[in-house]
């Protein structure tokens, strides 16, 4: 299964922003839809020895070697259990293509600034580095992830090295 996402026109509404909502366990997370290139089934991965634990391997996407990050492992959640709803969200981050494995995609939501609340002030590396806020729509709460902060500069350099070794 592959879903191509159309690019947004330059006149995107400045008041509301669209988020791709995905699941990890029982929680819903959202990322900026403009960072998403496509959504794919969880294809076969080539595992790379001596890489970070949360980099589960690489895949060949139409001639481009794409490193795959398992978000459950990255966020320190219980070990992943992949099933038919597990997907890879292919992202374009600063001209780098990276895939993230998630438990499933829920939908695309548009949220205005009034629906985005600041993250609670808790002592957590996750909230300080990865989170943009909490999207609140009716009774739903969506953890908004700053996906560009997914990997540190050093981790991104290791990802680049892995991808270049296959180029």
Q: What is the pLDDT of residues 21-72, one digit of tens each?
A: 999 989 999 999 999 999 998 777 888 888 888 888 888 888 888 889 999 9
- The answer to whether residue 10 is domain-embedded is no
- The answer to whether residue 53 is domain-embedded is yes
- The answer to whether residue 6 is domain-embedded is no
- The answer to whether residue 109 is domain-embedded is yes
Q: Which residues contact 53 (CB under 8 A, 6 or more apart)?
A: 73
- The answer to whether residue 47 is domain-embedded is yes
DSSP helix/strand/coil, 44: coil
- The answer to whether residue 5 is domain-embedded is no
Question: Are residues 67 and 159 in contact, defined by beta-carbon separation less than 8 angstroms?
Answer: yes
- The answer to whether residue 52 is domain-embedded is yes
Helices of type H across 27-81 = 71-74
- The answer to whether residue 51 is domain-embedded is yes
Question: What's the structural domain count of the chain?
Answer: 1
Give the CATH number of the domain where residue 128 resides. Answer: 2.40.50.180
pTM over 0.75: yes
Domain that holds residue 55: 16-166
């Amino acid at each position: 299964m592959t879903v191509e996402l159309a690019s947004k026109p330059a006149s995107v509404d400045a008041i509301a922003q669209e988020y791709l909502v995905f699941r990890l366990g029982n929680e819903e997370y959202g990322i900026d839809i403009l960072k998403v290139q496509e959504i794919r089934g969880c294809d076969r991965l080539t595992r790379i020895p001596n890489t970070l634990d949360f980099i589960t391997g690489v895949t060949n996407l139409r001639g481009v070697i794409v490193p795959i990050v398992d978000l459950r492992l990255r966020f320190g959640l219980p070990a992943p259990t992949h099933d038919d709803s597990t997907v890879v969200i292919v992202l374009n981050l600063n001209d780098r293509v990276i895939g993230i494995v998630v438990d499933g995609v829920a939908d695309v939501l548009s949220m205005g600034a009034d629906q985005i609340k600041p993250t609670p002030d808790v002592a957590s590396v996750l909230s300080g580095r990865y989170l943009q806020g909490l999207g609140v729509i009716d009774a739903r709460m969506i953890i908004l992830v700053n996906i560009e902060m997914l990997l540190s500069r050093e981790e991104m350099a290791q990802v680049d090295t892995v991808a270049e070794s296959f180029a």
